[in-house]
Amino acid sequence: MTTKNNPQAPESTDGIVVSDASANNININDGENGYIKIRAVTELGKYPLSGARVTVYASLEELVPVEITTTDSMGYAPVISLPVSYNPGISTMDPVYYYTTYHLSVSFDFYYPTAIHNIQVFPGITTEFNVNMTPVPSIEPNPYKKVEILIPDIEL
């Protein structure tokens, strides 16, 4: 995973605004977005996976899909633009370095689905993921297991 500044927003904004209707949590979005760039590959990056399904989820009462896209012939999904909000209801959130947490999954036929949880998206920053997909062996007794990656929360 690499993170870099994104001085220019992508030409198209594919993000869907996610609102929290909870009375105790007020999300303040000043119009800033963060970005996720995903590449689906196999064999440790040797082969791109064209047509892999990428789903980004917001955490509300349950995981809610906010963006669904597919990868191109080089394994890249379009850069995904996501709203980033300051939530004063989270005591550990810094009002200067605020973020919104998302989750994503990548799936492709005959490969184990991969889920990445607790992605902290910061305003104006593009975070890149190279998702290495594992093929399901033809003799696999449980071809529907899922690979999960949990990113721990880090207090700033």
Q: What is the pLDDT at residue 141?
A: 62
- Count of domains observed in the chain: 1
Report how far residue 143's alpha carbon sits from residue 95's, in angstroms, rounded to the nearest whole number.
44
Examine the pLDDT at 57 and tell me if it is beyond 60: yes
Residue 122 covered by a domain: yes
| 37: CATH | 2.60.40.10
Q: pLDDT per residue over 126-145, tens digit each?
A: 999 999 999 988 776 665 66
What are the DSSP calls for 125-146, one per residue? EEEEEEEEE-BPPTT-S-TT--
Range of the domain at 30: 2-150
Both structure tokens of 94:
């810094």
Report how far residue 74's alpha carbon sits from residue 37's, in angstroms, rounded to the nearest whole number.
13
| Prediction pTM value | 0.70
Residue 156 covered by a domain: no
Q: pLDDT per residue over 16-29, tens digit each?
A: 333 333 333 344 45
Residue 155 covered by a domain: no
> According to DSSP H, which parts of 77-121 are helical?
none
